Chains A and B, each alone.
Chain A
Amino acid sequence: MHEGAKAGEKRALPGEKAKELLNLRNEYVPKGVFQVGPLFVSKGKGAIVEDVDGNEYIDFAGGIAVLNIGHCNDRVVSAIKEQADKHLHTCFHVLMYESYIRLAKKLCEITPGNFPKQALLINSGAEAVENAIKVSRRYSGKQGVIVFENAFHGRTTLAMALTSQIKYYKFGFGPFVPYLQRFPYAYCYRCPHKLTYPDCGIHCLQRIEDSFINYMAPEEIACVLIEPILGEGGYVIPPAEFLRGLRKICDEHNIVFIADEVQSGMGRTGKMWASEHFGIVPDVLLAAKSLGGGMVLSATIGRKEIMDSVDVGGVGGTFAGNPLSCVAALKTIETFEKDKLLGRAAKLGNMAKGRLESMKKEYEIIGDVRGLACMIGVELVKDRKTKAPATAETKAILKKCQERGLIIMSCGPLHNVCRFMFPLVITEEELTRGFGILEDAIREVNATI
């Protein structure tokens, strides 16, 4: 199958065919469309992809956490093909179809909370976020939104406004929207208040309580929007008290609690939703990325009375809940159940974390290893004391990995966190091989600091 280099072997990037495509890319695609490298993938299966020059890679990025059940899962591909023969699109808002309804029902069943729920399907994570704010505002009759530092919620204007990082998610794209309040996230490795958990008494919650006096009255706040684990913002896992405290504030002031599980959901953390780890039940939960098994799909799922508060026609979209995406999502959920992928995620997560912990003992550059099952972030620093971010070094490591057949990405506001998003169907052998490539790269770069 592979004509080029195997994963683990060096290859020249870009390859010959990739060079041609790269020229076309530079001719016809704007600069602003980001990539991690000059890499064109042509095939994928499980956790292995092949580029257009026939080189093999182990995929630790999973299309940015979209492929928890792997590339081209057999069940998903046959469901797509079968559906494509029947109908591709009707626009659900004009003519309904069964797969949308079945998926809505399933999502209401598999999300936390034993109360009546409803689901709304759309295309992207950004659209799910936009709709969550819409339903919260319409339901509560209030306008304010509480969001957090280092949050990422998408790239539409409202989602961008909710997102924290300026360059280059927001730079030059304003003006944004009013009625947003931003607070520090419980990022304990770099505590925004320079305190230490648990002696801090979860000071970040106190900040929010205090703000009700001098920023915005809680009677004006429609919702709190938070990623239970920060995704693009650095794979930060907050103490459970932080999320529980937020939940309590919401209960006290009748504020809708929205959990953005776009990246943390769909089994990434060994539970279907990261919220479950912290014992919190959101009023509205957002899913996307791995929801459609690789197809374009997102969902806003929430308490019936909230979801039902909007005017008919006020939410949705032409493509929203495409039938192929819906059948793919149903098969994705079925795959989790039949192949017991949550248990597998926990097992793989232990392996991965064990390996990273022992690497931390050896390489000074690893400042922090944190994670829940397979949602793991490794923060690289130039100095463990000062925690100076090893941004350039992180870039160098990722490049070395890529040249040896491992696709891996970074995240975090300082671009110094390696994140692990490998498909949960990766074999133990592939995982070990991938970590071998990574460890070589880290060792080499560690020697330079």
Chain B
Amino acid sequence: MKERSVKTITEIPGEKSRKLKEIAERHVASGSMYSMFPIMAAEAKGAIIKDVDGNSYIDFYAGVGVLNLGHCHPKVVEAAKAQAEKLVHTCFGSVMQEPFIRVAERLSKITPGKFPKATALFNSGSEAIENSIKISRAYTKRPAVICFDYAFHGKTLLATSLDGTVRPLKVGYGPFVPEIYRFPVAYCYRCPFGLSHPECSMRCLEFLRQGFLTTVDPEQVAALVIEPVIGEGGYIFPPKEFLPGLQEICREHGIVFVLDEVQSGFGRTGKMFACEHWGVVPDLMVMSKSLANGFPLSAVTGKKEIMNAAGILGGTFVGHPVGCAAALAVLDIFEEERILQKAQKMAEIMRSRLGKMYRNILLIGDLRGLDTAWGIELVRDRKTKEPATEETKRVLNECLRSGLIAIKAGVYGNVIRIIPPLVITEEQLNEGFDILEKALIKISG
């Protein structure tokens, strides 16, 4: 029998974690300390995280989708170190450096769409979203933006204005940006129209078209921005007609179709980008998170004529050489280690383990996913679908104490997302699922 990956040698949290948390409570702005986990990370490798007290955990959240290639992938670490010795920073807006150009070249090549593309790099997902809207507005010379319920696009003011979750993202930070129009999203488990797919005939698409008569003139809409898989909003996977329908609406009205693949990109759903599952091609794609597998980096890649319409784009740190060196290593690893091909085996295990849990554990109201990205929505009653918010917290807490780190999503905080690094071993994956299953059974019983 293989050795277990989880090691628990102190109570959780241990003493060192507790002491550091005391300092944190004094000096760190509490708004940024929303971790429900009282432990402090010390080291991590692959899909295993070690805390400062020496306990080891299996990672089912991948740094919130940032570490699809695992913690401290040796090739990523090597590339970053080598770059740090040569050149840490230039500010691309003053003096250029090669890693930036190479990342732009590669992203333009690997993103969907066989048209000339260009890429601009930024630091965070929020910044990339902000810039995709800037670029769309400059290109179309139109002010309005369409976004959706449950969306999460970031925490800068425009990004926050686009967010489709009020608490805690939008409370007290307004006034927000004008000319933003929000529509319902195809969240079939809780259909905003109370209908069922496919009998609904995609009422949500129809509703958007109707919105052009009642809410906003499509000739005034610069961009439509959506996550192909809703991330923070609850790991919501739309039916196959939804995204192609949106793409068509954008084409009809000359609206820039912006896909936010910040969380769904870089292999998370078993393909390089989630939109490939539905064959949709965005005009602009927004990327971040696993792009550099642990370094702050984000990108907007899109049609060259759109990208070139903007005045000045950039920022002091954008396309940081160390982050770019890491991103180039990431793109190499996807090819050299055949990550997506190998992920199919992992997808099989995930599908079968989660399918079994869904059949046996009533607390799970909905199971949804694509290959290697899954969400389970917990409810108190499968009929009323009353969100099991408190129970979700307890399940995750129970997981932590048993050596598994997983996190929630959704406006009710009742969706557990299951997004381990794609390099997790079969044994670790199964060990993690054992812990999750036990916790779900314990809390539901």
Interface residues of A (CB under 8 A from B): 21, 24-25, 27-37, 39-44, 49, 52, 61, 63-64, 66-67, 71-72, 76-77, 80-81, 84-98, 100-102, 104-105, 108, 116-127, 130-131, 133-135, 137-138, 141, 143, 154-159, 167-169, 171-179, 288-289, 293-296, 300, 307-308, 310-322, 324-325, 407, 409
B64 interface hit (Cβ, 8 Å): yes
A295/B88 in contact, CB under 8 A: yes
A172/B120 in contact, CB under 8 A: no
Docked CA distance A29–B168 (Å): 36
Chain B residue nearest in CB terms to A82: B81
B105/A296 in contact, CB under 8 A: no
Chain A residue nearest in CB terms to B316: A64
| B304 proximity list for chain A (CB < 8 A) | 30
Chain B residue nearest in CB terms to A101: B24
| B317 proximity list for chain A (CB < 8 A) | 66, 123-124, 288, 296
Beyond A24-B105, A172-B311, 7 extra complex contacts between A and B, CB < 8 Å: A32-B313, A36-B94, A96-B24, A120-B28, A120-B32, A177-B175, A307-B31
B63/A89 in contact, CB under 8 A: yes
Chain A residue nearest in CB terms to B179: A175
* With A63-B91, A167-B311 as contacts: A81 and B84 at CB distance below 8 Å: yes
Contact of B24 among A33, A104, A319 (CB under 8 A): A104
| A155 proximity list for chain B (CB < 8 A) | 127, 130-131, 134, 313-315
* With A91-B64, A124-B127, A407-B94 as contacts: A314 and B171 at CB distance below 8 Å: yes
Docked CA distance A117–B288 (Å): 31
Docked CA distance A295–B159 (Å): 24
A134/B35 in contact, CB under 8 A: no
B67 interface hit (Cβ, 8 Å): yes
B172/A141 in contact, CB under 8 A: yes
Least CB distance, B389 to chain A, in whole angstroms: 14
Chain B residue nearest in CB terms to A178: B175
Least CB distance, A259 to chain B, in whole angstroms: 17
* With A157-B156, A169-B312 as contacts: A63 and B89 at CB distance below 8 Å: yes
Contact of A409 among B94, B105, B177 (CB under 8 A): B94
B158/A168 in contact, CB under 8 A: no
Chain A residue nearest in CB terms to B17: A96
* With A175-B179, A296-B323 as contacts: A32 and B316 at CB distance below 8 Å: no
| A94 proximity list for chain B (CB < 8 A) | 35, 37, 61, 63-64, 405, 407
| A130 proximity list for chain B (CB < 8 A) | 155-157
**Which of B98, B130, B156, B158 has the largest count of A CB atoms less than 10 A from its CB?**
B156
Chain B residue nearest in CB terms to A37: B95
A33/B72 in contact, CB under 8 A: no
Q: Interface-forming stretch among B42-50, B195-203, B269-277? A: B42-50
* With A123-B317, A177-B175 as contacts: A158 and B31 at CB distance below 8 Å: no
Least CB distance, A304 to chain B, in whole angstroms: 8
Q: How many residues of B contact A (CB 8 A)?
A: 116
Can you identify 27 A-B contacts, CB atoms within 8 angstroms? Answer: A29-B100, A29-B101, A32-B135, A32-B314, A33-B92, A42-B87, A72-B84, A77-B85, A92-B35, A95-B40, A96-B39, A118-B27, A127-B126, A135-B29, A157-B130, A158-B158, A168-B312, A172-B141, A174-B137, A177-B157, A296-B296, A307-B30, A310-B172, A315-B32, A316-B34, A317-B124, A318-B64
| B95 proximity list for chain A (CB < 8 A) | 35-37, 39-41, 49, 61, 63, 407
B31/A312 in contact, CB under 8 A: yes
* With A101-B20, A171-B311, A294-B89 as contacts: A90 and B41 at CB distance below 8 Å: yes
A108/B34 in contact, CB under 8 A: no
B90/A119 in contact, CB under 8 A: no
| B414 proximity list for chain A (CB < 8 A) | none
Docked CA distance A143–B175 (Å): 7
Chain B residue nearest in CB terms to A311: B168
Docked CA distance A85–B155 (Å): 30
B133 interface hit (Cβ, 8 Å): yes
| B92 proximity list for chain A (CB < 8 A) | 33, 35
| A137 proximity list for chain B (CB < 8 A) | 172-174
| B96 proximity list for chain A (CB < 8 A) | 21, 25, 35, 39-41
| A179 proximity list for chain B (CB < 8 A) | 175
A123/B124 in contact, CB under 8 A: yes
Least CB distance, B48 to chain A, in whole angstroms: 11
B55 interface hit (Cβ, 8 Å): no
B268 interface hit (Cβ, 8 Å): no
**Which of A43, A123, A127, A407 has the largest count of B CB atoms less than 10 A from its CB?**
A123
B380 interface hit (Cβ, 8 Å): no
Hey, what's the 0/1 contact readout for B61-73 against A, CB within 8 Å counting as 1?
1011111000110
| B168 proximity list for chain A (CB < 8 A) | 310-314
The 10 closest A-B CB pairs, nearest first, are A88-B294, A168-B311, A310-B31, A294-B88, A157-B158, A158-B157, A311-B168, A89-B294, A294-B89, A316-B32
A32/B41 in contact, CB under 8 A: no
* With A29-B100, A157-B177, A409-B94 as contacts: A44 and B87 at CB distance below 8 Å: yes
Least CB distance, A295 to chain B, in whole angstroms: 7
B308 interface hit (Cβ, 8 Å): yes
Docked CA distance A134–B26 (Å): 20
B89/A67 in contact, CB under 8 A: yes
* With A77-B88, A119-B29, A296-B123 as contacts: A93 and B156 at CB distance below 8 Å: no
B155/A317 in contact, CB under 8 A: yes
B230 interface hit (Cβ, 8 Å): no
Docked CA distance A155–B122 (Å): 11
B157/A90 in contact, CB under 8 A: no
